[in-house]
Amino acid sequence: MEKKMVTVYLSGELFKVPEGSTIIMALEYAGFQLKRGVGCREGYCGACATVYREKGDYKLKGGLGCQTVVTEGMAITQIPFVPAEKPLYELETLTPDVGTFTNLFPSVFRCVACNTCTKACPQDIQVMDYIQSIIRGDLESAANISFDCIRCGLCAMRCPAEIVQYDNGILARRLYGKYLAKKSPELDNRVEEVKNGKYDADIEKLNKMDRDELSKVYYDREIKIT
């Protein structure tokens, strides 16, 4: 049966692509060779931030190119990189409190609680809530809420206060992990096991597998939920 096609604009140029394609699939079908702005293709890496407008809708929307399905008349442009304020720091010299954010990310205190970032997030993260947690100095809450952030940059692009939410989130998680989280003896044991070579043979076996074998092992794995 012949595939149904939809018409889309890719960086302003008109193409017909198969119905049901994701934006990444549409770009490749149209002949674009993707060197940047694409990664895992499964919604985890955050590399394919994309801006689009649907036919008849005035709203400019953002999403992940690998997860967003094209619609008739959609106008699409990819953002291979979102420039961001990114101070360098030595975690060992920092303290896990709000003062660290005052020094490194003073912009976070400009938050006007508009919630635009939350609406922009393709991971459904309560972005505004983790920013507000940072402002209150509650790094545990900020670390937990921001945990699934994939650093796609879509929140920062929409923020009227020009805050780089994801860099604040990762600093909160680093500070929480290093200074505040309860220590785990299980983790210490596992690190010892790794150091002592317990997994060397398994890693060597994985290194020798081709992509299909690796994929099978990955998807067949037993997931333990405790």
The CB-of-167 to ligand SF4 minimum distance in angstroms stands at 9
Binding of residue 121 to ligand SF4 (CB under 6 A): yes
Q: Is 117 in the site for ligand SF4 (CB under 6 A)?
A: yes
User: Residue 65, CB half-sphere, CA atoms under 13 Å: how many?
Assistant: 27
Asked whether position 152 contacts ligand SF4 by CB under 6 A, the answer is yes
| Of positions 47, 165, 171, 173, contacts ligand SF4 by CB under 6 A | 165
Residues in CB range of 53: below 8 A, 6 or more apart = 59, 60, 61, 74, 75
Q: Are strands 75-78 and 49-53 parallel, antiparallel or unpaired?
A: antiparallel
Q: Taking CB under 6 A as the rule, does residue 149 contact ligand SF4?
A: yes
Least separation, in Å, of the C-beta of 122 and ligand SF4? 6
Q: How far is residue 90 from each of residues 95, 135, 216, 221, measured CA to CA in Å?
A: 11, 21, 39, 37
Dihedral sign of CA atoms 77, 83, 84, 88 in order: positive
175 HSE (CA, 13 A, CB side): 25
Q: Is 68 helix (H, G, I), strand (E, B) or coil?
A: coil
Given candidates 40, 60, 113, 217, which one binds ligand SF4 under the rule CB under 6 A? 113
Give whichever of 7 and 107 is closer to ligand SF4, judged by the CB atom.
Answer: 107
How far is CA 8 from each of CA 4, 22, 23, 120, rounded to the nearest angstrom? 13, 12, 10, 22
Piece of 3-11, 22-30, 110-118, 209-217 that binds ligand SF4 (CB under 6 A) = 110-118
Task: Kindly tell me which of 17 and 125 has the beta carbon lying closer to ligand SF4.
Answer: 125
Which lies closer to ligand SF4 via its Cβ, residue 112 or residue 217? Answer: 112
Looking at this protein, which amino acid is placed at residue 134? I
Any contact of residue 79 with ligand SF4 (CB under 6 A)? no
**Residue with smaller CB distance to ligand SF4, 102 or 115:** 115
Segment near ligand SF4 (CB under 6 A), from 18-26, 95-103, 133-141, 147-155? 147-155
Asked if residue 149 lies in contact with residue 107, where contact means CB atoms within 8 angstroms, the answer is no
Q: By the criterion CB under 6 A, which residues form the site for ligand SF4?
A: 46, 111-117, 120-121, 123, 125, 127-128, 131, 149-155, 159-161, 163, 165-166
